[in-house]
Amino acid sequence: MFTSAELYTMNTYDVRLTRAVRKSIFSLRLWLPARQRVHSQRPAQRTTVAPRNDDAVMDDVTVGCVNAQSVGNKSATLSRAIIDNHLDVLVVTETWHEDSESTSLKRAVPPGFGCIDAARPLTPDAPVDTLYFQNHGGLAIIFRDSIVFRKKCLDISVTTFEFLCGVATMRDRHLVLLGVYRPGSQSLTSTFYDELAAVFERLATYSCPVVVCGDF
């Protein structure tokens, strides 16, 4: 495992990683061999697929991500942003909501959309009865109703960040979406990389595309 400082020192042309390290990086899709990089940098082309049976087929999913720093005073803004930007899915970090019944969170969900969430757990000494208490952290994923979206429990405990995982199903196709929030007020440690790698290892067992976004 490399520290962030060690990774930065490798950002030169005269450093050659060992074969074992290169294979690990390639297998985790953190970097591509030169031949594949050239191929991936070719101009993207949009292909239109004719719908099957008269039903609309979702061929592209537009995913957005935003740090809200409280949905409490931005519910209308978030809802409008989803509609104006034609988003199918929006990952929201730092929702500052306390539970799934949050009125502010519900107001951020436009008509025709659903939501899954992960509020930051309240500590036993949290001053929940005070006027200015805010439960910082928390994530939500707002998605279009035409997508079957279910919350996925990875059965793993982390201490350096919060995450929310969901599986989207469109007809016979699946997509795993992971939202991550790492508090910027906390120092970056090797434990964060270890825990994030453990989550990625769980996602690697899925035989479908995986999208990861959020605040790291």
Structure tokens at 164: 């929310």
Q: At 54, is the pLDDT very low, low, confident or very high (cuts 50, 70, 90)?
A: very low
Contacts of 165 (CB under 8 A, 6+ apart): 151, 152, 153, 154, 176, 177, 178, 179, 203
Give me the residue spans of the domains in the chain: 1-41, 56-215
Whether the predicted pLDDT of 107 surpasses 60: yes
Q: At 46, is the pLDDT very low, low, confident or very high (cuts 50, 70, 90)?
A: very low
pLDDT digits (tens, 9 = 90+) for 156-209: 999 999 999 999 998 889 999 999 999 888 899 999 999 999 999 999 999 899
Structure tokens at 109: 């969900």
Q: At 74, is the pLDDT very low, low, confident or very high (cuts 50, 70, 90)?
A: very high
Q: Could you tell me which CATH number the domain at 56-215 has?
A: 3.60.10.10
What pLDDT score was predicted for residue 90?
Answer: 97
Helix (H) or strand (E) holding 114, with range, is strand 113-118
* 144 backbone dihedrals φ, ψ, rounded to 5°: -70, 145
SS3 153: coil
Q: What is the mean pLDDT of residues 147-155?
A: 93
